[in-house]
Amino acid sequence: MNIYPSLEGKTYVVMGVINQRSIAWGIARALDAAGASLAFTYVGERFKAPLEKLGQELSRPASYYTCDVTSDEEINQVFQTIHADHGKISGIAHSIAFADKEALRGEFSDVTREQFAQALDISAFSLTAVVKAAKDFFTEDASVITLTYLGGEKMVPNYNVMGVAKAALDASVRYLAAEYGKQGVRVNAISAGPIRTVSAKGVGDFNSILESIEERAPLHRNVTTEQIGHSGLFLLSQMSSGVTGEILHVDSGFHIL
Residue 65 interacting with ligand N5H (CB under 6 A)? no
Considering the complex, what minimum distance in angstroms separates the CB of residue 194 from ligand N5H? 4
Of 30, 89, 28, 92, nearest in space to 62 by CA: 28
Which residue in the set 149, 180, 234, 254 belongs to the binding site for ligand N5H (CB under 6 A)? Answer: 149
Residue 99 interacts with ligand N5H (CB under 6 A): yes or no: yes
The radius of gyration of the chain's CA atoms, rounded to the nearest angstrom, is 17
Find the binder of ligand N5H among 30, 120, 134, 162 (CB under 6 A).
162
Tell me which of 51, 75, 104, 120 binds ligand N5H, using CB under 6 A.
Answer: 104
Q: Which amino acid is at 22?
A: S
Q: In what order do the strands lie in the sheet with 247-250?
A: 63-66, 37-42, 11-15, 89-94, 138-148, 186-192, 247-250
Rounded to whole angstroms, the Cα distance separating 123 from 213 reads: 25
Check binding of 239 to ligand N5H (CB under 6 A): no
DSSP string, 92-134: EEE------GGGGSS-GGG--HHHHHHHHIIIIIHHHHHHHHH
What whole-number distance in Å separates Cα of residue 39 and Cα of residue 66? 11
Q: Per rule CB under 6 A, is residue 152 in the interface with ligand N5H?
A: no
Tell me the number of residues near ligand N5H by CB under 6 A.
19
156 binding ligand N5H? (CB under 6 A): yes
Which one of 12, 149, 175, 180 is the catalytic residue? 149
Among 76, 165, 161, smallest CA distance to 124 is for 165
Q: Does 158 bind ligand N5H (CB under 6 A)?
A: yes
Q: What is the 3-state secondary structure of 51-94?
A: HHHHHCCCCCCCEEEECCCCCHHHHHHHHHHHHHHHCCEEEEEE
Stretch that binds ligand N5H, among 58-66, 68-76, 79-87, 91-99 (CB under 6 A): 91-99
Part of the chain binding ligand N5H (CB under 6 A), chosen from 85-93, 97-105, 215-223, 243-251? 97-105
Rounded CA-CA distance 248/75 in Å is: 26
Taking the complex as a whole, how short is the minimal distance between the CB of residue 142 and ligand N5H, in angstroms? Answer: 25
Query: Is-catalytic flag, 64?
Result: no
Contact between 126 and ligand N5H per CB under 6 A = no
Between residue 10 and residue 39, which ones bind ligand N5H under the rule CB under 6 A?
Answer: 18
Angle in degrees, CA 236, 242, 244, rounded to 5: 65
List residues near ligand N5H by CB under 6 A: 18, 97-101, 104, 149, 151, 156, 158-159, 162, 194, 198-200, 203, 209
Give me the active site residues, please. 149, 159
